[in-house]
Amino acid sequence: MCKELIFDIDDKPVFHAIMHSINTEPVFEIEVSHLLDILVKGKDQEDLKEDIKHVLALAIVHDVPVYPNNERLASVLAKYHRDLLIEGFRAPDESGEYVRLQLANSPGPDVETLRHFESMRLTDAHSPAELQLIRDAVMAELAKRDEAGRILTSLRLAIEELSALLEQTTRNEGDLQECLTRNPILFGTEYRRVVPKHRLGTEYEMDYALEHATGLVDLVEIEASTHRLFTKKGDPRQALIHAEQQVLDWLDWLERHGMYARENLPGLVQPVGYVVIGRSIDLSEEDRKRLRRRNSFFRGNIRILTYDDLLGRARNLLGVLEGGHTVPVV
C-alpha cells in the first residue's frame, strides 16, 4: 500500500510510510501523505541491521522506492542496501524460525564495482541507494585512475632526474641520495617509504631504511655512481669493500640488538642490505660475472646493485604500466 518509504534516524532508525489516503474535508479527494512509521527495534547493532535489511528487501520485492530523509543519511542508507545485496537478509519461515534469504539476481560483492553498474539496463528504475552506490563506485574508480596517473608522472620524473644525475662525471652521493629520498618508487613498487639517515643506536647511521609494503624494512648504503667496482685485475675496489663492510656491520648490530632496534622501526626483522654503487656500463663481461658471484656469495643477505640496475628496473616498470613493453637492463 506504500507509495514510498522515507528512511530516517530519530534515536533509532525508522521508515516513514508515505501512502494514499482519503481526505473528506473540505472536499472528497485522494491525498498522498505520511500515515505510518515502521519502527526498527533490534536488540543490538547486528539485530538492528538485519531488521533494516528485511524492510529494504520487502520494499524491493514490492517495487516501493526508499529515499533518505536528508543528504547525510544517503550514505547510511546506501550501506544498508549494499549489505543487503552482499549478505542477504533474515526473515521468518512458516514455522517462525529465521532463515537467510537472498534476493533473486542479487549482484553480491560485484555491487561495489563498475562492472555491475555497466550491466544495468537504463530502462529499469533505480533506487536512491543504488544511485549512491554507483556514485561511490565511480568516485573510487576515478581515485584509482588519478593515483595511477600520479604514479606514472612520478616515475617518469624520477627516471629523468636519475638519468641526468648519472651523466655527471664528479662524485655525487649527496645529489643521488636526495633523488632516491624523493623518489622511493625507483627501488620498486614493493617499497612504500624511504626513511633517510636512520640511526642504529649510537654506533651507526644508515643511508636509508627502505620500508616494504608488508611493513618489513630493508637497509641501503649509497655510494657514488662514479665509483668503479673492480680493478683491471678483477679485484674489488676499496669503495665496494667499504660499502659491503658497512652493511655487514649494520646486520651484525641488528642481530645483537634487534629488539631495541624494532622499538623505533618495528619492521627491522631479518632485513636485506642493499649496496648501490657505480655503473653497469663501466663493467666488462668478466666484471659482470664477478658481481653475480659476489651477490651469490652473500646468499641474499647483501645485494649489490648499480645505478643502472635501478634505472633499468624503473624503465621496465614504466614500460609495463604504459603498455607492457620492457627494455634491456644495461
- The secondary structure of 253-277 as a DSSP string is HHHHHHHHHHHH-TT-SS--EEEE-
Contact 108, 86 (CB under 8 A): yes
Place of cell 542508507: 77
- The secondary structure of 73-132 as a DSSP string is GHHHHHHHHHHHHHH-EEEE-TTS-EEEE--TT--GGGGGSHHHHHT--TTS---HHHHH
Cell of 98: 529465521
Residues 6 or more apart in contact with residue 203 via CB below 8 angstroms: 253
pLDDT of 123 reads 60
Task: Report d(CA 190, CA 213) in Å as an integer.
Answer: 6
- Give the sheet arrangement for strand 302-305, strand by strand: 191-196, 208-212, 217-222, 273-276, 302-305
DSSP state of 197: T
Domains, the chain, with CATH or none: 2-140 (no CATH), 171-323 (3.40.1350.10)
Q: E strands of the chain, at which residues?
A: 2-10, 12-23, 29-39, 66-68, 89-92, 98-101, 191-196, 199-200, 204-205, 208-212, 217-222, 273-276, 302-305
DSSP state of 186: G
pLDDT of 125 reads 63
C-alpha neighbours within 13 Å on the C-beta side of residue 101: 16
Cell of 76: 547510511
pLDDT of 330 reads 47
Amino acid at 59: A
Contact 66, 30 (CB under 8 A): no
Amino acid at 282: D
Each residue's pLDDT, cut to its tens digit, for the chain (330 residues) gives: 788 999 999 888 999 999 888 777 777 788 888 889 998 887 888 889 999 999 999 998 888 999 999 988 988 998 998 899 888 898 888 888 888 898 887 877 877 777 776 666 666 666 778 777 777 777 776 676 676 677 788 888 889 999 999 988 787 778 888 888 888 888 877 787 888 888 988 899 988 888 888 889 999 998 989 999 999 999 999 999 999 999 999 999 999 998 898 888 888 888 999 999 999 999 999 999 999 999 999 988 999 999 999 999 888 888 887 765 555 554
